[in-house]
Structure 1
Amino acid sequence: MAMGHYVNYYRLEMAQQREEEGEEAGVKRSAQYMALLTGPGFTGHVLALILFLMVTSSVERVRRKGFETFWYTHHLFILFFITLMFHGAFCFIRADTPPYCKSSPGSYKFVLGSLFFYILERTVREIRARLPTAISKIVLHPSKVLEVQIKKSSNQHGDGFFRAKAGQYVFLNCPDISAFEWHPFTITSAPEEDYVSVHIRIVGDWTTAFAKRLGCSFDDEQQFWIEELKNRTSNGVGGGEETISGVGVGAASGSSSAVAMDSMAFGSGASLMGGAKQRASASANSLQLQRPTEPTITLPRVLLDGPYGSPSEDAFNYEIAVLVGAGIGVTPFASVLKHIWYSVMQPTKIITLRKVYFFWVCRDRDAFEWFQDLLIALEEQNLTGFLEIRSYLTGELGKEEMDTVLMEARAAAAAAAARHFRNKHYYGGGGGDGADVGNQGFEGKGGEGDLLTKLHKPLGGSGAFPMEVMLGEEMNGSNETLSDARRDRDAITGLRSPTYYGRPNFDKIFGELALAHPQEHGQVGVFFCGPKPLGKTLHRCARKYKFKFHKENF
């Protein structure tokens, strides 16, 4: 469009002798003069520059790495509208007969409507943001993920102002960092809970500053305490919910004084998965790591705008729901799964859902700890016929992680063999001596008696090495599983359902889902949040089997 304007300036210079008045009467202006020094020319260049900055800063790569640049540049649209009003106010294009120009401006008619709705939206946001909020809990998870729980606002009658549905999201603002930046985060708490929680991955400038403002800097010292917790827990020391004492975290909700919490709860994020977590929960004593007390940190005030709707909330409109989360993209489904748990525990209304398939694809082993407690709670409700959970580990396991899994699996094997020996010899579990106890109680794939079956191929490509695991069967039969004989718990996640190693073959999985639900093709909804390549694959497979595909912005 800008090049078209330059061409028009040139053609105007060649074809038209402007009738100027006063001292400029009879003067013919050049195309360069009209394009650069006249009112329409100058304002036009300003408009073009603003559009260029807004478009280039909206590119995904820029938006991911420098959200602040995108955010502030995008608000140049206010200057754009103001300049646009003046752009047509210089009577540059005239009529052929007098009066050559209209005396009253008319450009405001084209922008007044949109500006009105924008001002209305910002006013509503400011009013909602002024509702009282207070951070009630901070949970530090592995892989630089921070969970922030915010107490829901309520009036003097106890009615909650903040009412969200499962799967929705909010905009979060921290005035201590920036008064103008609002960042979207998916709500991970259920509507039935009295708080709003979000899981924030520390990847950018704003999230890093927010974590530091909360006292979670992810520095070497804090990482030391996390590793210490892992080491002690994996050695069977302590139990329950691990905490770090002496971390001064206060809750400030408009008052100058800080109410210090006893500790910062690391929850399941500070313990190893599988055996370590199960061993820890067996003891009533919590593990406390003492260190010198630090000055109390006053938690900042946060503002919430929302909630806003998302595709995930439509999961309850289908009879069969397939939830697929990749990495931190699992957050929309945390709220959905929690709502399912509350619906089963406290049924208040009939829901359309009859079956839920939950697929979680992660590259990092520690990422499975983010919502481990929730998934275990869902499994313990005996929802086998209603909920099916499948975890996929696509990243390469390091040597230390491999050793940890092997150590836990061998410890579980020894404990299981001992239980089998006692049951056999003291409770009439069978005859014979105990020499073959390892081959009688636990059978691997294909009926073999060994608890651990050797995999003779590398896991994860270059740099990996063979590992002893139990083999499990998946729907498509193409993924190995890392499993644990201890109460049928998986060695990676601690769930009863096994963890599959490698990328899932959704074409085969969806094919078997179509065979399992032949009458509900139109009632199978696929909900996805994650990277674009996987989203394209799921979309293609969903169209092939006539499933309804819903993608969350990621």
Structure 2
Amino acid sequence: PNRTSLPELLIDGPYGSPAEDHRKYDVLLLVGLGIGATPFISILRDLLNNIIKQHEQAEGLSGSCSNSNVSSDHSFTCLNSEHGNRTPKNQRRTLNTKNAYFYWVTREQGSFDWFREIMNEIADSDIKGVIEMHNYLTSVYDEGDARSTLLTMIQTLNHAKNGVDIFSGTKLRTHFGRPKWKKVLSKIGTKHKSERIGVFYCGGPSLGKELSTLCHEFNQTGCSRFEFHKEHF
């Protein structure tokens, strides 16, 4: 008997995480909802390690150049600024990223415990302000709302006195409500004109659609280039 022909099956993939492309951008906007912040913590660690490495190399290079007994070859490497490059090739930065903006939006206050250590480490080590972090707690009324005024006062006083946020337990102050995304992208685009900005999002589809639309709108009217990447948890 004739066998029934089977349908043709095509397989395409596998694909890596969209966040793997973060190294090629001048500026990063990282947006995580709840547990969706997880893939971006790895990026922040990568950036932080690069910041620490550059700082250590700069200190080592400065010490070597100030040593009167250095060899002539080493002195030439340190002092030659013909091309504005004072760093040996093997010590040049491996990332294109100059600035990163991290927005973490969560409903549960306890979620901040997950990444408290890395956030405090960034606050202590990022002297030049390469990484800008923003925590948002959506279970509290928006900032400016009369119903959250008392909480804001207590938060402000405690942070001023102890340097710790009462909601996240970190040195980073927590915002209430949700970010105004159009204002966020506008601010970043204005600050980084004519640069490629990688927008990486991990969370539900609703906000992903909003961010994608905003990126398209700003690309039509501004001189910065927003490139949107998403993944869903």
TM over 0.5: yes
Does residue 531 (structure 1) correspond to residue 204 (structure 2)? The answer is yes
Q: Percent of counterpart pairs with the same letter?
A: 31
What amino acid sits opposite 2:150 in the alignment?
A: M
Partner residue of 1:493?
168
Partner residue of 2:229?
550
Q: CA deviation at 1:385?
A: 2.3
What SS does the corresponding residue of 2:147 show, helix, strand or coil? coil
The higher radius of gyration belongs to 1
Go from structure 1 to structure 2 and tell me whether the alpha carbon gap of 1:331 and 1:490 turns closer, same or farther (over 3 Å shift): same
Q: CA RMSD in A?
A: 3.1
Partner residue of 2:101?
357
What amino acid sits opposite 2:146 in the alignment?
A: K
Q: In the alignment, which of 143, 150, 166 is matched to residue 467 of structure 1?
A: 150
Does residue 337 (structure 1) correspond to residue 38 (structure 2)? The answer is no
Please list, as runs of the form range in 1=range in 2, the aligned pairs for 1:78-93 lying within 5 A after superposition. Answer: 86-88=3-5
What amino acid sits opposite 1:531 in the alignment?
A: G
Q: In the alignment, which of 166, 175, 191 is matched to residue 516 of structure 1?
A: 191
Partner residue of 1:541?
214
Q: CA deviation at 1:467?
A: 2.5
Partner residue of 1:375?
119
Q: CA deviation at 1:339?
A: 1.3
Q: CA deviation at 1:357?
A: 0.3
Tell whether the 8 Å contact from 2:28 to 2:198 is kept in structure 1 after alignment. Answer: yes
Does residue 458 (structure 1) correspond to residue 147 (structure 2)? The answer is yes
User: Equivalents in 2 of 1:394, 1:456: separation in Å?
Assistant: 13
Please list, as runs of the form range in 1=range in 2, the aligned pairs for 1:46-195 lying within 5 A after superposition. Answer: 86-88=3-5, 111=8
User: Equivalents in 1 of 2:111, 2:25: separation in Å?
Assistant: 29
Q: CA deviation at 1:515?
A: 1.3
What amino acid sits opposite 1:526 in the alignment?
A: V
User: Equivalents in 1 of 2:231, 2:145: separation in Å?
Assistant: 39
Q: CA deviation at 1:512?
A: 1.3
Partner residue of 2:134?
390
User: Equivalents in 2 of 1:540, 1:482: separation in Å?
Assistant: 39
What amino acid sits opposite 2:115 in the alignment?
A: F
Partner residue of 2:223?
none
Tell whether the 8 Å contact from 1:482 to 1:491 is kept in structure 2 after alignment. Answer: no
Q: CA deviation at 1:457?
A: 1.8
What SS does the corresponding residue of 2:159 show, helix, strand or coil? coil
Q: CA deviation at 1:456?
A: 7.1
What amino acid sits opposite 2:153 in the alignment?
A: M
User: Equivalents in 2 of 1:497, 1:541: separation in Å?
Assistant: 27
Q: CA deviation at 1:470?
A: 3.2
Question: Which range moves more in the overlay, 483-492 or 336-345?
Answer: 483-492
User: Equivalents in 1 of 2:164, 2:47: separation in Å?
Assistant: 22
What amino acid sits opposite 1:509 in the alignment?
A: V
What SS does the corresponding residue of 2:30 show, helix, strand or coil? strand
User: Equivalents in 1 of 2:158, 2:98: separation in Å?
Assistant: 28
User: Equivalents in 2 of 1:490, 1:392: separation in Å?
Assistant: 12
Go from structure 1 to structure 2 and tell me whether the alpha carbon gap of 1:456 and 1:374 turns closer, same or farther (over 3 Å shift): closer
Q: In the alignment, which of 157, 163, 180 is matched to residue 505 of structure 1?
A: 180
Go from structure 1 to structure 2 and tell me whether the alpha carbon gap of 1:384 and 1:501 turns closer, same or farther (over 3 Å shift): farther
Go from structure 1 to structure 2 and tell me whether the alpha carbon gap of 1:483 and 1:394 turns closer, same or farther (over 3 Å shift): farther
Aligned length: 188
Tell whether the 8 Å contact from 1:312 to 1:332 is kept in structure 2 after alignment. Answer: yes
Go from structure 1 to structure 2 and tell me whether the alpha carbon gap of 1:553 and 1:494 turns closer, same or farther (over 3 Å shift): same
What amino acid sits opposite 1:386 in the alignment?
A: V
What amino acid sits opposite 1:467 in the alignment?
A: L
Partner residue of 1:128?
none
Deviations 1:19-69 (A, max 9, x none): xxxxxxxxxxxxxxxxxxxx8xxxxxxxxxxxxxxxxxxxxxxxxxxxxxx
Deviations 1:165-213 (A, max 9, x none): xxxxxxxxxxxxxxxxxxxxxxxxxxxxxxxxxxxxxxxxxxxxxxxxx
What amino acid sits opposite 1:458 in the alignment?
A: R
User: Equivalents in 2 of 1:311, 1:471: separation in Å?
Assistant: 40
For structure 1, the residue ranges without an aligned partner over 5 or more in a row are 1-38, 40-84, 89-106, 122-305, 398-454, 460-465, 473-480
What SS does the corresponding residue of 1:87 show, helix, strand or coil? coil
Q: CA deviation at 1:384?
A: 4.5
Higher helix proportion: 2
Go from structure 1 to structure 2 and tell me whether the alpha carbon gap of 1:341 and 1:361 turns closer, same or farther (over 3 Å shift): same
Which aligned runs of 4 or more in structure 1 are off by greater than 4 angstroms? none
What SS does the corresponding residue of 1:492 show, helix, strand or coil? coil
User: Equivalents in 2 of 1:506, 1:361: separation in Å?
Assistant: 12
Q: CA deviation at 1:372?
A: 0.7
